[in-house]
Structure 1
Amino acid sequence: MPWLFEENLFRMDYQVQDLVNGIRQIRNGFVAHSMENWVFWFCFISGLLLVIGLALWIGYQSKKNGVKKTWNDPDLLFWSLLNQLQLPDSDKKLLHEMTAEARLAHPASALLSPHTLDWARNLWIQEKGNSAIPLQKLRRISEISVLLFDHYPPQLQSNSAYSV
């Protein structure tokens, strides 16, 4: 049995020496002056650059396609902006109705700022007439302006019935 113990020690010593030599080879592979494994490093760096380039290209194409979908469709852009807002569906439909009846070429422009929303509301009032738009809708547009922009729009008329 003692010879079995010595054989196991010899194997362990050999494995430790093999591990040390393996670590040295890895360390020597990272040394700048060592050109023994230049094919490996060339292939490794080329593959890494290829994967990074492919990932960047796929990201660019997906972003480009997302912009391309809304580029020539102002109504689709308007609805995509509305869907990003945390508004009830009834408010989204009301904003769409307002921009459609105001005949805006680009309805998304009404959502840029509180001033453009007021401008679109005033165009809507001019297009439809004061008496044709229910007071509830005008008040709701004012409430939406407060929700979106924290902005209190100016009074619609000097009449107190149209005030916010």
Structure 2
Amino acid sequence: MTYGALPAFVPKQTHDAARYKEDAADSCVILWNSMMKRPYEATDLAVFVTKRTLQLRPKSQIDIAQEAGFQNPNFISMLKNGAAKLPLDRVLALATALECDPKRLFLLALQQQGYETEQTAIADIFGTVVTRNEVIWLEELRDASGRSDPSLTSRSRAALRGIFSK
């Protein structure tokens, strides 16, 4: 309902009160929208889950949520749009349902939750966490080089970046 179109016979005081109510309602809508911002929408995890669910079609988000053991069938949608964060104890189950590397998903979940101290501790204790795909790349690099431990030259860097169009 809009109060700006009150008939001319409505006294000015009532019209001003109606305008105040309309302004207050607009302010409430703006406040509500700012409170409903999705705090995790710009995270790498939200982007990853969005891409991965598209890659797994025709498998539905509800199927993925059920496979991962989430009570709420909309949880995958909530992860994608940034309304929810992924609990660390659910990473392995979701990685299985998404058919992705659990290490990568774990790192994305840590990043999403803002655990900088924990990320640093993990890096200090375990070094760089390497995903299954990265291990395959490393093995191929070792085989291709005859296990000679080659240094990364500008030429080899350029060739590698060329593979990924970087």
Q: TM > 0.5 between the two?
A: no
Using CA pairs below 8 Å that are at least 6 residues apart, which structure has the higher relative contact order?
2
Of Structure 1 and Structure 2, the greater helix share is in: 1
Q: Give TM-score scaled by structure 2 length.
A: 0.35
Larger radius of gyration: 1
